[in-house]
Amino acid sequence: MTISDTLVLRPASSDEFDALYPLVRMAFHSTGPPDDRDAEFSVFEPERSLAFFDVDAAVGSASAYTRDIALPGGPAPVACVTWVSVAPTHTRRGLLTRMMRHQLTELHEQNREPVAALWASESGIYGRYGYGLASQRSRISARTRDIRLLHPVPAAERAIRLGEATGKELRADIAAVYERVRTSTIGHCDRRDKWWEHRLQDPEHDREGATALRIAVHDGPAGPDGYVIYAIKQGWTDQGPDCEAIVHELEVENPQAHAAIWSFLLSIDLVTRLQWRIAPADTPFAHMVDQPGRLKIDLGDNLWVRLVDVDRALALRRYATPIDVTFEVADAFCPWNEGRWRLTGGPDSATCVRTDAEADLALSSTDLGAAYLGGTRLAALAAAGRITELRSGALRAASVAFAEPRQPYCPEVF
């Protein structure tokens, strides 16, 4: 696809990875040495990459990973969009729009994943390409002296094993726990092939003065049932130690493991502060402590979701209650989605087909993307003026059917 005499959009080969990698590092202002090159290359899929080349120089990039994400109803293939960047010398020329359109059109024409998802570095960008904010994450921080667990687990009863993330002895345990948790935790990605190595990548220049990653595993009656990946950032004041525990990932299968792991974290010697940078928006931790008001919880973006094909995407997920609704969908960026679609389904199955029937709700594909994982309510979008109810009662019924009991949450940036 030729854009001008010198700009060409095409996939990048494996041999061209080292041309793309500096572009992405420059676009995101990475300051450290490129220690993580091999980890990034290990998950790079050249056939799913897009790159703008100006003669021989890479000046634009947009790629995708082949992964499953847990949807309402279970895991399913989702195009995990990544490495979206444009060189500072080539911005404001429409390169990003051309890459986004090419990528989505290719997914549609090749009948690949009907859903795409990404993390947005700037949340004002992707709505114009049909991505909706489908989940949020919280950032939690607290002084450990200000909070106490309501039901702490005594040290002798915690059953915690500790190791370094660079070691292999605990890797199988945490992978097994994650695999059981992620299939039913909406927003979690699978970690096939090299993804565990990538997740535990820990270059020193990214630690911000903290230790290397550590792993604590909780053993329940039937074996490992929870873990936390964390690091400690050292600190001292005139009054004594002021170290910080930084939680990178915490996964548990039951409340007992949850209580034991937090009991462990809050009792580490010399630690006076904690921080969890990508936590669930509806974190149970706020309900486990005696003074939740002492927790500082800031909400931020998590996954942005785009329905590549409205019919296939809506039929792919399941619904909390029976649903029979006709949507009038607007989608200027992917015009094949424009028109009326009748969705029927429930907890066990769903279908979505074109129809000439009168519409019940009028909305955009962006709104459907925002509501897709069950975290953003259709009713909330309607209250914001983004959805129009055309049949009385349709909004409430659809909003209830799309909703999930827990907020969707992806614990890793891809």
Six-digit token pair at 401?
């059917």
Q: Write phi, then psi, for 390 (nearest 5 degrees).
A: -105, -20
**How many angstroms separate the CA atoms of 266 and 179, rounded?**
26
Catalytic residue among 178, 319, 327, 414: 414
- Specify whether the CB–CB gap between 319 and 347 falls below 8 A: yes
* Strand ranges across the sheet with 339-345: 350-354, 339-345, 323-330, 361-364, 388-389
Six-digit token pair at 379?
């009713």
372 annotated active-site: no
DSSP string of 202-249, one letter each residue = --GGGSTTBPPPEEEEEEETTEEEEEEEEEEE--EETTEE-EEEEEEE
Catalytic residue among 53, 126, 333, 402: 126
Q: Give buried/exposed letters for 24-39 (b at 16+ CB in 10 A, else e).
A: bbebeeeeeeeebeeb
**How many angstroms separate the CA atoms of 384 and 80, rounded?**
28
Terminal-residue alpha carbon distance, the chain: 27
21 annotated active-site: no
- Specify whether the CB–CB gap between 198 and 43 falls below 8 A: yes
Point out the residues that are catalytic: 126, 414
